[in-house]
Chains A and B, each alone.
Chain A
Amino acid sequence: MEKTIRVLVAKPGLDGHDRGAKVVARALRDAGFEVIYTGLRQTPEQITQAALQEDVQVVALSVLSGAHNTLFPRIVELLKNEGMNDVLVIGGGVIPDADIPGLKAAGIAEVFTPGTPTSNISDFIKASVK
């Protein structure tokens, strides 16, 4: 039997906008993934520890405060330091198009911006996680 994909949905930084994160978490759960949601105000270190402990294949980050350029790459770096090189890291939120190439170069596999159907996210995860 195929192993269920485990996803950590995380809110790094101080941003309190969690409507998107919660909707995505629930949609991913309904799409058959095992989903762990961190809750608000997680430091990159806390998110990395949670990813490690929960043994997830995917980390889905949500930031709407504009702090994504600082926080997303930092989390990718910490995950690598912990040897979690295969974890798929994706991001979402209010992220200007101009920032996306930089985030991808930093190791964010895909960035989902406002208006994305949740099915796009689950399809992307299914296609990317081996």
Chain B
Amino acid sequence: MSNETLKTKLAEYNAKVEKSLAKFPERKNLAHNRIYTQLDVEALDTVNDIGFPGEYPFTRGVQPTMYRGRFWTMRMYAGFSTAEESNKRYRYLLESGGTGLSCAFDLPTQIGYDSDDQMAEGEVGKVGVAIDSLADMEILFDSIDLSKVSTSMTINAPASVLLAMYIAVAEKNGVSADKLRGTIQNDILKEYAARGTYIFPPKPSMRLITNIFEYCSTNVPQWNTISISGYHIREAGSTASQEIAFTIADGIAYVDAAIKAGLNVDDFAGRLSFFWNAHNNVLEEVAKFRASRRVWAKVMKERFGAQKPKSWMLRVHTQTAGSMLTAQQPENNIVRVALQTAAAVMGGTQSLHTNSKDEALALPTEDSVRVALRTQQIVAYESGLADVVDPLGGSYYVEALTNQIEQEAWDYIKKIDDIGGAVVAIEQGYIQKEIQDSAYKWQMEVEKGDRIIVGVNKFQIEEKPVEGLLRVDASVGELQKKKLADLRAKRDNAAVTKALGDLRKACQDDNVNLMPFILDAVKTYATLGEICGVMREVFGEYQPHATL
């Protein structure tokens, strides 16, 4: 059909619709056109813009085979209470067919406090496992072969310390660092903007990150040194375009910092990874994944001049949207998660965590985690969604939406460049404000009934309180305190003091890579709080300004 004929046909169709709308009005607040045609993707070059999987600009996926080779890694985020309890859960997940580990740490661990610190009161073991020293880490990975499993750790400000502990545990078990596979989140910029577990100010934080890039490129070459995360930006309320735009802007800041520190872009870029949210609007999410790969590929090739194809690839872990789970009628969440899983898979994710139905209420029980994992397995083995690479490629709507999200991302990246980059944009509160505005808009739409959340503002029922939720034993705080007291009594405290002293000196010299010093300190069983305490002394702490 020629474009002229198509335009005529489209005009006829719209006229017909307008007529029937007089009787049957269209639903309100629909973001996109009524229908998409060839006309919406006219400018799209099927070879250069869409291309082939495994080829620049990777719109259709980063690997040539995608899931026809093997499925994504089914990686369930877990951790609570003590290292002993969490180790049991990890072994359960691996026995149930999980193919990677993902460690959740409690807030004191994430913010560099020992369990016996006053700041940790009430938080020990609550949202993740409490890790105070190498001794806890040894228990956490007991009987798990670290040469076989890949491990993702959601740890940011103290990422260097937890990575050092992981390396030390592996060494003790006879697995050398070059064999280790996994990821540390290590993305401090989104902590300032959206997630909140920062410790140090931006400058020393960026130094720690580039130190890790450099150390791992020679010593832990298979490790993903950062997971540049849009997930939490989306959870904080951003739109899909904002999620990828702000995250890629953060990515640009990390690459800039590493290049400024003297690293060669192709030496570290291949180990950068990303983390997306799989939200409710299935096709918008698919378009977001596709757009994000295209934007990053262009950034790396054109802006940074990276030569290796690996450096251009946006490899991504995904988690379904926790903020979209409802406390009301929690069984409905299983359906939401299934749709979000479909989006992530059609979007071409490399690994996936699926949330459990009870997570708007508490940490998930073993049974609900199993259903969440089974959801991935059903999508993988039964749905057919994983049988063809980029199954929505060529859809007028999805291609048009991919273009639109890409364009919106570029507009934001330009704006952030003009402000002076992501670090400055965060310090000025620009990114936080944009996210908050979107969050508030969403909430008001829900309250006005313009946006329906099933079971929340429509189709409500009388509900009984949910029973059988997981409760973290209140004694975990006391237990960790006792373990710490024992540790401090029996370790070689002279060695600890010396290692911490060496670390302090190293912190004071910007030209020194801190990783070897942190590794030495960890091996003496210096605690996380002691190591971060030294860094707090030298680096100071980040002081956010709260904006509304």
Contact = CB atoms under 8 A, between A and B. Distances in A.
A14 B123 contact: yes
Interface in B216-240: 235-237
**How would you classify the secondary structure of chain B's contact residues: helix, strand, loop or mixed?**
loop
Interface stretch (A31-39, A53-61, A81-89): A31-39
A40 B546 contact: yes
B440 A14 contact: no
Contacts of A15: 107, 123, 127, 196
B327 interface: yes
A38 B546 contact: yes
Contact of B196 (A16, A67, A119): A16
B122 A70 contact: yes
A39 B546 contact: yes
B546 A114 contact: no
B123 A114 contact: no
Contact of A14 (B108, B191, B465): B108
A39 B472 contact: no
A96 B326 contact: no
A16 to B, nearest CB: 2
A70 B123 CA distance: 9
Contacts of B360: 94, 114
B544 A67 contact: no
B355 to A, nearest CB: 13
Interface string A67-92: 10111000000000000000000000
Interface in A1-41: 13-19, 22-23, 25-27, 29, 35, 37-41
Contact of B122 (A22, A29, A69, A118): A69
27 contacts: A14-B108, A14-B110, A14-B111, A14-B119, A15-B107, A16-B195, A16-B196, A18-B236, A19-B236, A26-B440, A29-B548, A43-B119, A65-B126, A65-B127, A66-B123, A66-B362, A66-B363, A67-B126, A69-B474, A70-B121, A97-B466, A98-B469, A113-B327, A114-B327, A115-B456, A118-B447, A119-B447
B197 interface: yes
B82 interface: no
Contacts of B402: none
Contacts of A43: 119
Contacts of B108: 14
A102 interface: no
Given A15-B107, A67-B126, A69-B122, A40 B328 contact: no
Contacts of A19: 235-237, 323, 439
Contacts of A25: 548
Contacts, number: 107
Given A40-B544, A94-B362, A17 B440 contact: no
Given A14-B111, A16-B196, A67 B123 contact: yes
B436 interface: yes
A66 B474 CA distance: 11
The 10 lowest CB-CB distance pairs between A and B, nearest first, are A16-B196, A70-B122, A39-B546, A97-B465, A67-B122, A14-B107, A66-B126, A114-B327, A115-B456, A67-B123
A69 B123 CA distance: 10
A106 to B, nearest CB: 13
A2 B498 CA distance: 64
**What bracket does the count of chain A residues touching chain B fall in?**
35 or more
Give the most central of A14, A71, A118: most B CB within 10 Å: A14
B356 to A, nearest CB: 13
A32 B548 CA distance: 15
Given A27-B443, A39-B544, A97-B465, 15 more contacts: A13-B123, A16-B191, A16-B195, A19-B236, A19-B237, A22-B439, A23-B436, A26-B548, A35-B548, A41-B196, A65-B107, A65-B123, A115-B326, A115-B456, A118-B443
B361 interface: yes
Contacts of B126: 65-67
Contacts of B197: 14, 16
Contacts of B195: 16
Mostly, the A contact residues are loop
A96 B119 CA distance: 23
A97 B467 CA distance: 9
B10 to A, nearest CB: 40
Given A13-B107, A67-B126, A97-B465, A115 B327 contact: yes
Contacts of A113: 327
Interface string A98-130: 100000000000000111011100000000000
B447 A117 contact: yes
A121 to B, nearest CB: 11
A118 B196 CA distance: 23
A115 B466 CA distance: 15
Nearest to A100: B465
Contacts of B111: 14, 41
A22 B326 CA distance: 19
Interface in B459-476: 465-466, 469, 471-472, 474
Contacts of A98: 465, 469
B370 to A, nearest CB: 21
Nearest to A14: B107
Nearest to B358: A96
A14 B196 CA distance: 8
B124 to A, nearest CB: 9
Contacts of A26: 436, 440, 548
A115 B328 contact: yes
A96 B548 contact: no
B127 A66 contact: yes
A15 to B, nearest CB: 7
Nearest to A24: B443
A103 to B, nearest CB: 13
